Structure 1
Amino acid sequence: MSETTEVTAFMLVKTTPEWLGLTVEQRVKAFTTEILPAIENKVKGVRSRFFDTEFYSARVTDVWVWEARDHHSYQLLIEVLRETPFWDRYFEIVDLLVGVENAYATNYGLNAYASIDA
């Protein structure tokens, strides 16, 4: 295994009444002025993707996928998020599912197998 291991975290969140009470414009402003700058100023090597799930789940409204270049970058991300209104003010963190892609194959010296887009 290489010295750095890419980490993927599936952050399952539920919007809070405070977040839902904001207009769309206020949400965009809060995200771009309170949350993104904190991440960009303190964390390197992390990228995110967002998935809406409120159409299909009452327990989890969004899944945020965070891909970090290593465990340290992921840990810094969580520390930074906890210092912003994102954490438990705008969103309730329902669960964190953190994994390393194909770790079993790497650990056993095997090829990783996955389905192929046909």
Structure 2
Amino acid sequence: MKKTYTILILYRATDLWLSLTREERADVFEKELAPLLNKFSKTLNVRLFDSEAFHAETSDFIIVETSELNDYYYFIEHLRDTSLFGKPYIVLNDIIMGLENGFKDFEENEA
């Protein structure tokens, strides 16, 4: 049985991103991010969250769920080629990966 990994990608929007109009931001999303989300939609479940009202360092985060770590890796490589990282419009704060209830799998396989 494949394991499902959950990855939290914590990042901060830069002043360059914030200086764009909402229409310009939507354009970047549609031209650069939406095609990547579509490309990996069969193997990655990607959810986008805002957190700027609740956290000083992390303005946004992404939750990715996948059992295909290679596809996650390729997604990140493609993402790094976008203007989000290139301008940069965002700066990564942290990436955290985990297995839901991983201890149970460990205990069952080590018994």
* Identity value in percent: 29
Q: Could you say which residue in structure 1 is the equivalent of 2:67?
A: 69
The alignment of Structure 1 onto Structure 2 pairs a total of residues equal to 107
CA contact (8 A) 1:6 1:71 kept: no
2:91 corresponds to 1:92: yes
Corresponding position of 1:35:
33
Q: Give the TM-score of the pair, scaled to structure 1.
A: 0.80
- Counterpart of 1:101? 100
Deviation at residue 40 of structure 1 after TM alignment: 2.7
The separation in 2 between residues aligned to 1:52 and 1:40, in whole angstroms, is 21
Structure 2 unmatched runs, 5+: none
Residue aligning to 1:48: 46
Cα deviation for residue 19 of structure 1 reads 0.9
Q: CA deviation at 1:39?
A: 4.1
Distance in 1 between residues matched to 2:82 and 2:64, nearest whole Å? 17
Aligned-partner residue type, residue 51 of structure 1: F
Q: Which has the higher helix share?
A: 2
Q: 1:115 matched to which residue of 2?
A: none
SS in structure 2 opposite 1:8? strand
* Aligned equivalent of 2:4: 6
Question: Residue 46 of structure 2 contacts residue 62 of structure 2 at CA under 8 Å; is this kept in 1?
Answer: yes
Once superposed, which parts of structure 1, at least 4 consecutive aligned residues long, lie more than 2 Å away?
38-41
* Alpha-carbon contact 1:7-1:101 (below 8 Å) kept: yes
In angstroms, what is the RMSD of aligned CA positions? 1.7
